Structure 1
Amino acid sequence: MNPPLLGLCLAEWRKAKGRGLAYAVLLFAAAHGVLAALVLKGLDALQQKALASGALPSPALGPGAGPQDPFDLLVAGEAALHMAVFPVNGFALLLLAAMVWAEDFSLGTLAMLFVRPVSRGRVFLAKSIVLLAAAAMSIGIALCTALTLGAILSGFSAELEQLQTMPLVGWMASEPSMGARAARLISGWLAGTLLMAPALGLAALVAALTRSPVLTLFGTLLLLVGDFFVFLALSAWGKTSLESAELAGFWAGWTLWGSRSFFPLHGPATIVSQGLGSLCITLAYSILFFGLALWLFVRRDVT
């Protein structure tokens, strides 16, 4: 009789936790939230200093009103989301993925596991769930940390009109409602988790081929870095006046890096009209990589 899926997931999590790597990944994610809140507070301090010295023109204020912080806790949360989906945090998740996927192969414990009546598909599913949950927790912890520290440092109100020309968080200038902005932060958390899925699926595929945590980590990194440079080359080609420029720009969107373009759209709520294509490409890559990894995982000899 197969053990319950929840039990397999807990067993995979205990292995990651036992190495201390799971907690290290989550702590690293929290550092992104702290950094986001501190950077915004530092930018506000620099702005106030420039206003006091006359280097910047003072904004028009109502009677009796003083200069207001352009950032609040939700702005800090948005900045943390962008930091959490940056490749630096993704590298930490790849470390965890390499261990979860390939350590059983290298230690020989996978063969011992399959002696018991456990479906290989269920083991694969448990590993996938644990890693996707770790990605969601990583981004969620970065968001919650930034919200908490942002509430302490910047408070719950801000002069959002000052954000209009600011990258990443400028969309909040046209969305003063805290409820609407909070809902879009949640959609950003979900979008960020989805962004991690192709890389985690690629790690699963490399692990099934190499059976080594080290080769899984560096092999996946090599493929992702190669994809990034292909994206840069195609994007640069697409901006030229050559006849094939339009085709090159089209194929740039089919790279793993190019398919991330839907993430910034979670703010303006235009993902269906502008980002549906890149969202579908991300889903397709996720299904392809996890599907190939599963096919290899259930068929390869583990002795």
Structure 2
Amino acid sequence: EFDDLAMAGAERSLLFGRLAAGRGRLALAREEFEIAARFGQRESQVTVALRAAAGLGGLQLLEGDIAGAAGTVGPALATARQADAWARTAELLPVAVEALLATGGRAEAGEVTEEATESLTDRGAPAVTASLHLARGLLLDADGDPEAAEAFTRARDHWQDIGRPYEAARADERIAAALAASDRARAAERMAAAERVYLELGATTDTARCRKLRRDLDLGGIGSPGRRGYGKRLSPRERQVAELLAQGTGNQDIAQALFLSPRTVEHHVASVLAKLGTGRAGTAQALARADAEDAAGEGGG
């Protein structure tokens, strides 16, 4: 409503960027974060610049562009350091530590975490405190320290205490991965908890990543009834693909969002369009009609 106001425009882009990233619209997420970054360059406050860098860096990590992520978070860390703005790095800090660790910067990742810890001593900043626990967990995990799971658990508990279920679910994922080799029952429990939250929030990309990690770690399912035929109805995977198609998402973005190969996506897209009896441009309308028909059928039953 007030898109001529810089503050409103920046918040809009950060919000839409995070929503788009969670829902698998990666190209749109990048566009929104880049808009936010341009707002951040013009503002005297550093918060927008730090959050935009966190968003872009997180996307680059998701896409496997480790060097790009490190290049994005580096200047943002310098800004946080210069302005002593560590209290505003709740979104940036875990992304920065992960990017630094991935590029072999273990020492720098540790220095950043310690500097933030010292700056925040005796300061009430609950969100970044949760992020610090997550950052410490990442460092411990990189060192093979079994205490990583407990650091991730403290992060999860802090996020839950301040009403941030999405971040709490991300921490649960970390707990599961850290425990997979030593406590498979608890690891499976935490992974299932994360997946349920992602499903409730409609976080398509996070759900897909969580399921892939669960398969990679051989942690089992979350109580689904098992594989079955769907006939002319969309399978759960086809439903995810259809929803992304309905938003105008291209095959490459769908592949990245759902952690699938391009060939697999092509197969799913062809199946979705055939079942819905439409082309790409009509996917949203056809999906809405299919949902209405399903709802009517259930009501009649």
- The bucket for the TM-score relative to the shorter chain is under 0.3
TM-score (normalised: structure 1): 0.21
TM-score (normalised: structure 2): 0.21
Could you say which structure has the greater relative contact order, defined with CA pairs below 8 angstroms and 6 or more residues apart?
1
